[in-house]
Amino acid sequence: MSDKKTARLVLEDGTQFAGHSFGAETSLSGEVVFNTAMTGYPESLTDPSYRGQILVITYPLIGNYGVPAFAEENGMLRFFESDRIHVRGLVVSDYSFEHSHWNAVESLGRWLEDNGVPALYGVDTRQITKIIRERGVMLGKILVEGTPEPAGFEDPNRENLVAQVSTRTVETYGNGKHRIVLVDCGCKYNIVRCLCERDATVIRVPWDYDFTQIDYDGVMLSNGPGDPQQCGTTVAHIRKAIALGKPIFGICLGNQLLSMAAGARTFKLKYGHRSHNQPALMVGTDRAVITSQNHGYAVDTATLDADWEPYFVNLNDGTSEGIRHKSKPFFSVQFHPEASGGPVDTEFLFDDFIQNIENAKRQ
């Protein structure tokens, strides 16, 4: 497209990739990460876990099915994972200017432009991914021709990203028999959907809310962005919840926060796990599952208190994919059992959580 401005992705090591702009004409900086998904860019762009990040999608063709309708269902946008775009910028290899899908209402480029998110196409995303895998996650800038260049490289992990994406008020979804507190550290809508489908009333609370004062049957700790060390207040509330003994289920950042409450330390991964086909093994079994993942930090399970044990392990690099208590109904996973639109290999964990709640009610 000759009318598109030139744009560059500049990594903090000085490497540059030239392309063309197809989103908002603005320049910015952020943390550069990659995603290997073939589809699901509306879900990825609205995932709060990508807050502050420049997302590089490795699949070569993006935009061919446009952007789905902004229809609401049960107080949530039906085809998205939150009510807004959270990525700071987008980088793709080839952008499809002609989209076609029965549910499309506009192009990806227009959606990004309307939301002030810059994007560029025409770059070798495989090479970017190779650099990140070899050197580790790094900061970067998207520079669009004719726009002011940001000074320096901004590291979003220095900010409390969870506070930026969490709900500000207590919200309730569904009208089921199980009262579940959802601690919103940047939760995806599909967590709410999966719980409501299992006869739950979901009480969504801010990340720093003392939810132990609420009458509840179980606690769901959501996914979210950034460094888990920023969430000390949440960890303190989780420790109180552990003492109360009611079932707890954590996902992604929720896994890290439950692990911290259980005495473990976390560390930043070299380049993170951000793909839709990561194999994980259930510890103590020969059962492997295919998972969707999006995280930059991991748990050192060797530092867990003695009452806890590993639950899943990543078959690619051996990192922790979850923990569980040896005798009480507490468990969490690093991957996304609520993955939308898939894989759904691990959605059974929601059933296990509900079963723990029902068992606790009978005691």
Angle at 76 between CA 203 and CA 224, to 5 degrees: 65
Angle at 196 between CA 190 and CA 198, to 5 degrees: 110
Residue 230's closest CA among 182, 297, 308, 309? Answer: 297
CA distance 120 to 8: 8
Amino acid at 325: H
Decide if 231 is catalytic.
no
H/E stretch holding 90 reads strand 89-91
Decide if 185 is catalytic.
no
All residues at 6 or more sequence positions from 158 whose CB lies less than 8 Å from its CB, including other chains: none
Decide if 252 is catalytic.
yes
Catalytic residue selected from 86, 252, 276, 321: 252
Catalytic residue selected from 43, 113, 321, 338: 338
Name the token pair of 3: 């009318």
Catalytic residue selected from 20, 276, 295, 336: 336
3-state secondary structure 28-87: EEEEEEEECCCCCHHHHHCCHHHCCEEEEECCCEECCCCEECCCEECCEECCCCCCCCCC
CA distance 117 to 85: 8
Contact 165, 46 (CB under 8 A): no
Name the token pair of 69: 């309708």
User: For the stretch 324-334, what's the b/e string if a residue is b when 16 or more beta carbons lie within 10 angstroms of its beta carbon?
Assistant: bbeebbbbbbb
Contact 220, 195 (CB under 8 A): yes
CA distance 80 to 77: 6
CA distance 196 to 135: 42
- φ, ψ at 312 (rounded to 5°): -130, 155
CA distance 290 to 281: 9
Q: Which residues are catalytic?
A: 252, 336, 338
